[in-house]
Amino acid sequence: MAAEVDSRRRRIIDATLDVIRDHGLAGARTLEIARRAGVSTGLVLYHFGTLDGLVAAAMEESEDRYYRSLEDGSTDRPAPERLCLLVERSGAPDTGIGAWILWMEFWVRALRDPATAALCAALEARWRALLRSVIDQGISEGCFTTVAPADAVVRLSALLDGLSVAATFGDREVPVASIPRLWLEAAARELGCDPVLLGLSR
């Protein structure tokens, strides 16, 4: 029974993510989500309470998928390898453009909705904490030499956001495949890291 409930919740969340990517947050409707999930609207609301509750759960699940993709022993790797994984997995097929579109939708909504703003802030804090842990590891290992890790986190986070937006809008100078290289080149300079450790040429 629990497995069936979990499966149903996943279908509803998957359908929600699809609808948001196709129609945006403003176009997300419980009826369409239920249709795609193959359930009734009543069942959608039974599991998530409100459409807003469902949308928040979908956003959190989208982020959780990214973090789960990093759990293949990455914490046992050297910091440069972990740093590479952070950016490479951000553009993976199941967490790439679709997730970036979702973030842009939420950023716009967060301007006017305190609950969405709080969720965005919490998710951003989670990402920055992970990046900071990797930077701190690199400093301990002696491969990162930055003396301002907190500032590096802010700048590198903002850079990845900007590159993601440019790629999502089809900027020819920022194709999705170029993002890891562009970000890692900046990270090498920011962190005082030998580019070779990040798979880059000097």
Give the rounded percent of residues in the chain with a pLDDT score beyond 90.
59
User: How confident is the model over 119-131, as a mean pLDDT?
Assistant: 95
CA proximity to 20, closest of 106, 81, 92 = 106
The residue with greater pLDDT, 28 or 181, is 181
pLDDT score recorded for residue 15: 93
pLDDT score recorded for residue 1: 63
pLDDT at 124 over 90: yes
pLDDT at 70 over 90: no
pLDDT score recorded for residue 100: 83
pLDDT score recorded for residue 202: 73
CATH number at residue 84: 1.10.357.10
Say yes or no: 102 and 171 in one domain.
yes
Say yes or no: 81 and 58 in one domain.
no
Residue type, 2: A
Whole-number average pLDDT of the chain? 89
Say yes or no: 145 and 100 in one domain.
yes
Say yes or no: 166 and 114 in one domain.
yes
**Which of the listed residues 62, 84, 102 is the one where a domain comes to its end?**
62
Say yes or no: 8 and 100 in one domain.
no
Quote the pTM value.
Answer: 0.87
CATH number at residue 47: 1.10.10.60
pLDDT at 131 over 70: yes
Say yes or no: 79 and 173 in one domain.
yes
- Helix ranges (H only) for the chain are 2-23, 30-37, 41-48, 51-68, 79-90, 97-110, 114-141, 149-168, 179-191
Say yes or no: 125 and 181 in one domain.
yes
pLDDT score recorded for residue 26: 82
Q: What is the DSSP letter of 79?
A: H
pLDDT in tens, 191-200: 999 999 999 9
Listed in sequence order, the residues at least 6 apart from 139 whose beta carbon sits closer than 8 Å to its beta carbon are 145, 146, 149
pLDDT score recorded for residue 136: 97
Say yes or no: 74 and 1 in one domain.
no
User: How confident is the model over 28-57, as a mean pLDDT?
Assistant: 91
For residues 138-167, one letter each, b for 16 or more C-beta atoms within 10 angstroms of the residue's C-beta and e for the rest, the string is bbeeebbebeebeebbeebeebbbebbbbb
pLDDT score recorded for residue 7: 87
User: How confident is the model over 104-118, as a mean pLDDT?
Assistant: 90
**Which of the listed residues 41, 62, 83 is the one where a domain comes to its end?**
62
Say yes or no: 44 and 114 in one domain.
no
pLDDT at 97 over 80: no
Say yes or no: 133 and 186 in one domain.
yes
Q: How many folded domains does the chain comprise?
A: 2
Say yes or no: 149 and 104 in one domain.
yes
Domain that holds residue 31: 1-62
